[in-house]
Structure 1
Amino acid sequence: MKIKCIAIDDEPLALQLVAKFIKQTSFLDLDATFDNAIEALGYVNSNEIDLIFLDIQMPDLSGMEFARIIDGKKGDSKPRIIFTTAYNQFAIEGYKVDALDYLLKPFSYEEFLKSSTKAYQYFEEKNAKPHSPANADYIFLKVEYQLVKIMLKEITYVEAYKDYVKVYLIDKPNPILSLTSLKTMEEMLPSEKFMRIHRSFIISLDHIDSIARNAVNIGNTTITVSDNYKDNFLQFLNKWIA
């Protein structure tokens, strides 16, 4: 697995060092470097990036401001951040924006590799697909440090939650939280039983209680059918009515 990353730092020597460390690390793939956070933000918005090595003290747009913008994005492809800075007072703020790690300058390659390995382990776990044999009526989800068997018929809907998914089950007061993406869940769940109707939701077709205008009701939960998924849902609805 290769982690596609960029580096952002307004100090040329610091940027060169991070770029050098990235190139030395076999599981990292350096896509681009930037000495300007605003330019980098435009690049991130139009390219799929997994990981950003980000300085904090920069003119025009600080690394922390950049991170808050990234953290506000929704979807499966939001990049993660490792901060690289000479100022340790930003550590708490760094974790508030869900940074993977915080490298204090000057740092060695050993320290860089430790942080990068942490990122690798995160992406490896996140990209691991839920497991189920062909035509099985269940899947296994990684929940904390164990695999949990989930019967498909018990799933009412699945919701994206940052880097996790919440799996809601019949007669369970709280959802199961698993470190995976909604896209991965969509690939694993059988399409004849489950449908994605929103960038943040997959529903069980068997558990639809009623359909309002552009929305689905499952129990006490109302889920909007977003524009990107309306055509597929209308095709299903026409069959259902027929």
Structure 2
Amino acid sequence: MKIRCIAVDDEPLALDLISKFIEQTSFLSLEAKFDNAIEALGYINQNDIDLVFLDIQMPDLSGMELARIIDGKKSFTKPRIIFTTAYNQFAVEGYKVDALDYLLKPFSYEEFLRASTKAYQFFEQQKKSESENKAQESNSDYIFLKVEYQLVKVMLQDITHVEAYKDYVKVYLKDKKNPLLSLTSMKNMEELLPKEKFMRVHRSFIINLDHIDSVARNIIHIGEHQITISDNYKDVFANFLSKWLG
């Protein structure tokens, strides 16, 4: 497993040293480096990053302010932080934003490696927990979805279809007028839902095969909803349809 990293520090020598340490550590991958937090935030918002080595004392936007922005993201995949700073008075504040570790400058490669190994163990445990949760959920009759600030138990048989909606998904339920709005991705939903019951038929739609009312050409009817089968999924759905028709 490679941990995708960025380094953020307004001191050129410090930024070069951290970048060098990252590049010589086998389980770390340096994706980018920045000398200011504003550019780093823009990159984080556009790319998948696991870990940020972050200086605290920087102009315009400080490392602590950037950390608070990252910590405030309602996402399961937000980056984690290892602070790199010359000021130890920020240690307590660092843990308030759920930082993985705190490196006090000047630090050696041994100290850097110790903190990085701690991060590696964290991501390994996170990956293991996610796999166990998905395995458990795939063997259950229900899943849990994050809706606003709570986890909601949803019976699989009640889900008629799922629709992509910006950074969220809409989960439509039978006998419910309004869908649930959950902060997750279509890819995650596709992995979460059992493949023998659910099928992706469009970049923006996953359907429950048991809730299909009718199919006309490339349109699936589920209740009052009409869902288009896109060209990328026509062959897979046609194969299912041939088995369905016997």
1:80 and 1:100 in contact (8 A); partners too: yes
Q: In the TM superposition, what whole-angstrom CA distance separates every residue of 1:5-40 from its partner, at most 9, and x where no partner exists?
A: 010111111111111111111000111111111111
1:158 and 1:202 in contact (8 A); partners too: no
Answering whether residue 57 of structure 2 is matched by residue 84 of structure 1, we say no
Q: Which residue of 1 aligns with 2:6?
A: 6
What is the aligned-residue identity percentage? 54
Residue from 130, 135, 142 that aligns with 1:139 = 135
Q: TM-score, normalised by structure 1?
A: 0.65
> CA separation in 2, counterparts of 1:90 and 1:225?
35
Q: In the TM superposition, what whole-angstrom CA distance separates every residue of 1:169-224 from its partner, at most 9, and x where no partner exists?
A: 99xxxxxxxxxxxxxxxxxxx89979666767897x8xx57312x33xxxxxxx33
Answering whether residue 223 of structure 2 is matched by residue 241 of structure 1, we say yes
Answering whether residue 232 of structure 2 is matched by residue 232 of structure 1, we say no
> CA separation in 2, counterparts of 1:81 and 1:32?
15
Residue from 176, 184, 188 that aligns with 1:211 = 176
1:117-136 matches, within 5 Å, as 117-128=117-128, 129-131=130-132
One-letter amino acid of the structure 1 residue matched with residue 145 of structure 2? V
The alpha-carbon deviation at position 101 of structure 1 amounts to 0.9
2:158 and 2:174 in contact (8 A); partners too: no
> CA separation in 2, counterparts of 1:82 and 1:101?
5
The alpha-carbon deviation at position 122 of structure 1 amounts to 1.3
Aligned residue pairs, count? 195
Q: In the TM superposition, what whole-angstrom CA distance separates every residue of 1:56-114 from its partner, at most 9, and x where no partner exists?
A: 00011100001111112223431111000111111111111111111111111111111
> CA separation in 1, counterparts of 2:109 and 2:205?
49
Compared CA separation, residues 234 and 37, structure 1 to 2 (3 A): same
> CA separation in 1, counterparts of 2:182 and 2:52?
33
Compared CA separation, residues 233 and 21, structure 1 to 2 (3 A): closer
> CA separation in 2, counterparts of 1:234 and 1:41?
36
2:147 and 2:182 in contact (8 A); partners too: no
Q: TM-score, normalised by structure 2?
A: 0.64
2:162 and 2:207 in contact (8 A); partners too: no
Q: Which residue of 1 aligns with 2:146?
A: 159
1:8 and 1:40 in contact (8 A); partners too: yes
> CA separation in 2, counterparts of 1:26 and 1:161?
38
> CA separation in 1, counterparts of 2:39 and 2:95?
24
> CA separation in 2, counterparts of 1:96 and 1:22?
25
State the structure with more CA Rg: 2
2:145 and 2:154 in contact (8 A); partners too: no
> CA separation in 2, counterparts of 1:48 and 1:20?
21
> CA separation in 2, counterparts of 1:194 and 1:121?
39
The alpha-carbon deviation at position 139 of structure 1 amounts to 3.4
Compared CA separation, residues 139 and 30, structure 1 to 2 (3 A): closer
CA-based RMSD: 3.9
> CA separation in 2, counterparts of 1:121 and 1:31?
20
